[in-house]
Structure 1
Amino acid sequence: MGRLPKWQRIAEQQKLRIRKYEVIKECHEENRWSIKWMCQVLEISRGSYYAWCNRKTSARELENTKLLETIRTIHRENNGLFGYREMTLYLKNEYGIKVNSKRVRRLLRLNNLPSSYRRKARYQWRRSRRRSNPDQTAENVLNRKFQTDYPNQVWCTDVTEIKVPGTSKKVYISTILDLYDRYPIAWSFSVNNDSQMVSEMMEKAFMKYPEGCKIFHSDRGVFYTRAAFQEDLKKRGITSSMSRVSRCIDNGPMEGFQGHIKDMCRVLHPNVRSVSEMKEALEMTYQFYIDKYPQARFEGKTSGQIRKEAISGMIRQYPIKQNNRIKQFWAKIENKKSQNA
């Protein structure tokens, strides 16, 4: 327990102490065991035990009991998808309950309600790679400027794959993500990793937004370097931008979104066993992400809520929080450059 964070040690100690009180009370009532003897064995003072027995339920405890019921319901509905941060945001966004995240964290810990997110997956997730000789490539116009001022300014895209558990079959996923609100503009699923899947996704996107976007960013995969694909972007007045070779971070938001969606699908739909079930599970996962998944960057709102606000004219800026590790990494790079200059 010594290696645990302080808050976690305190929560574990409290949970253990309460459990000891419950054991003493149960054994005394059922077996008439000596309270004095049990307190000595369990290294608990009789005074603290009697104080626990005679305590009056405080207003805080009543609030925690009611709050815990709501937390259990949410935890059960999404199979433990939320950690304490997302749970806190979800309580505020869906139930109008404003509560400190530390309080939520403590209740989750004390009541054995762990998050299932980002644990070892039972699915095998693989990124789709398809080598080709590109017809046309483009410069990295986006240049890792992932902050945009309004919707449909920059769209990112990529293709990834999921292996259906217990089978050798795969489902390929193609998605367009808007950088303003991390809203999935369009997506398509297929058992074939081909241009038809990407074309269907593009058709869906332009049906929703005929004017498209200003910049369309992708990697240098065969689907995006085709002459026909690039010509279509030009006709629509869209600037093509492509990640550099072996620089997946150039399309960082898209890469992160894909992993995020697949982990969510694993947690929300753990019993998928066929291609059709996988497609259905992915479809529901996308809708859950749009309508239900709170994001700290958007003050607990979902990407769907931010999109609705933007459509109604309420366009706000949501700055991307700086990652200190990335800042330190680039500081080291600049330091090395200055030393070698």
Structure 2
Amino acid sequence: MIGLDEATNKELAQVICTLEAKFNLADLLRVLPISPDTFFYWKRQFKKPDKDCQLKHFISRIWNHDQHMGVLRITQALLNDFDLKVNHKRVYRLMKELDIQGEGYRKKIRKYDSSKGPEGTRVKNKLRRRFQTDRPNQKMVSDVTEFKIPETQEKVYFEPIMDLYNNEILTFAITAGSPNLEFAMKPLNSLIELIPNQPYKQFLHTDQGWQYRHRTWQKKLRSAHITPSMSRRATCLEAV
């Protein structure tokens, strides 16, 4: 509960307007920490039509349809669905007045971190940001990404292997279970069966996720004559 000392002048004025029918106005102004001039200013403001009334209605309508939507997504939805170009700061202010916010911000949710796991072996970054290639299957990349289905809150993990020659997804795996080693190995096993042996050196570039540091992953790569490469931690420019 907000104390009187913490209440804003607007909130105090709303309280007085509510109690004015039952109590003497002079007594209310004497008891509550708000000056008469400030009270009458807000009373006049309350009588004015709310210029944001329609916009608040649209924001509430969008949010009620998907309560996971935050400020930026609602701002974009206003433009897409109602052709209303509104500054995101205004949307934020109105959402605060409506006491609504995206469900994703109401509680801290631990995000998937592939670096946490068995230590394994880290390898050097062999690509060193040289992601361009004119040869198929020469430079490939992979990563495990976590998604959340809004309707069910179910977590889904997706691991593709992409060829940087033409950005083609060569193989992939999807699971709603744990992104364990067995899951991580599926695209790699499919890749080895799919791509032919090339006369040039081949690379598979990843982050430092525990699956990619695992001995089984690296042994499988080397048995297929594919050189592993890893970006450094917290270095987004080294990841595709």
TM range (shorter): 0.5 to 0.7
Matching of residues 243-322 of structure 1 within 5 Å = 243=231, 247-250=232-235
In structure 2, C-alpha distance between the alignment counterparts of 1:177 and 1:95, rounded to whole Å: 39
Match of 2:224, SS state, is helix
Q: Give the TM-score of the pair, scaled to structure 1.
A: 0.43
In structure 2, C-alpha distance between the alignment counterparts of 1:119 and 1:253, rounded to whole Å: 33
In structure 1, C-alpha distance between the alignment counterparts of 2:84 and 2:9, rounded to whole Å: 29
Q: Give the TM-score of the pair, scaled to structure 2.
A: 0.57
Match of 1:107, SS state, is helix
Q: CA deviation at 1:102?
A: 2.0
In structure 1, C-alpha distance between the alignment counterparts of 2:205 and 2:10, rounded to whole Å: 55
CA contact (8 A) 1:230 1:240 kept: no
1:176 matched to which residue of 2?
160
1:112 matched to which residue of 2?
99
CA contact (8 A) 1:224 1:230 kept: no
Cα distance, 1:158–1:28 mapped onto 2, change above 3 Å? same
CA contact (8 A) 2:160 2:187 kept: no
- Deviation readout 1:47-96 (Å, 9 max, x if unpaired): 443444445534xx33x1222222223334443552x3444334334543
CA contact (8 A) 1:174 1:198 kept: no
2:29 matched to which residue of 1?
39
In structure 1, C-alpha distance between the alignment counterparts of 2:53 and 2:203, rounded to whole Å: 50
Aligned sequence identity (%): 18
Which segments of 5 or more consecutive residues in structure 2 lack a partner in the other structure? Answer: 1-5, 132-138, 149-154, 195-201
Which one-letter code corresponds to 1:140 in the other structure? N
2:117 matched to which residue of 1?
129
Match of 2:234, SS state, is helix
Q: Does 1:225 align with 2:218?
A: yes
Q: Find 2:57's aligned residue among 69, 72, 81.
A: 69
1:143 matched to which residue of 2?
128
Cα distance, 1:226–1:195 mapped onto 2, change above 3 Å? farther
2:9 matched to which residue of 1?
17
- Deviation readout 1:244-269 (Å, 9 max, x if unpaired): xxx32246797xxxxxxxxxxxxxxx
Q: CA deviation at 1:37?
A: 2.0
Q: Find 1:101's aligned residue among 67, 70, 88.
A: 88
Q: Find 1:91's aligned residue among 64, 70, 78.
A: 78
Cα distance, 1:193–1:73 mapped onto 2, change above 3 Å? same
CA contact (8 A) 1:79 1:116 kept: yes
Q: CA deviation at 1:106?
A: 1.6
1:337 matched to which residue of 2?
none
Match of 2:60, SS state, is helix
CA contact (8 A) 2:12 2:32 kept: yes
- Deviation readout 1:156-176 (Å, 9 max, x if unpaired): 41378x9xxxxxxxx883433
Which segments of 5 or more consecutive residues in structure 1 lack a partner in the other structure? Answer: 1-12, 147-152, 163-170, 208-213, 255-341
In structure 2, C-alpha distance between the alignment counterparts of 1:159 and 1:80, rounded to whole Å: 19
Q: CA deviation at 1:98?
A: 0.8
- Deviation readout 1:85-144 (Å, 9 max, x if unpaired): 444334334543211122122212233224554565366856452444x7xx86524436
Higher helix share: 1
Cα distance, 1:106–1:192 mapped onto 2, change above 3 Å? closer
Match of 1:199, SS state, is helix
Cα distance, 1:68–1:228 mapped onto 2, change above 3 Å? same
- Deviation readout 1:209-256 (Å, 9 max, x if unpaired): xxxxx9752134236424358738x6xxxx86323xxx32246797xx
In structure 2, C-alpha distance between the alignment counterparts of 1:37 and 1:65, rounded to whole Å: 33
In structure 1, C-alpha distance between the alignment counterparts of 2:56 and 2:188, rounded to whole Å: 42
Match of 1:188, SS state, is strand
Cα distance, 1:73–1:176 mapped onto 2, change above 3 Å? farther
Which one-letter code corresponds to 1:175 in the other structure? E
Cα distance, 1:158–1:197 mapped onto 2, change above 3 Å? closer
1:193 matched to which residue of 2?
180
Matching of residues 195-214 of structure 1 within 5 Å = 195-200=182-187
In structure 1, C-alpha distance between the alignment counterparts of 2:88 and 2:33, rounded to whole Å: 32
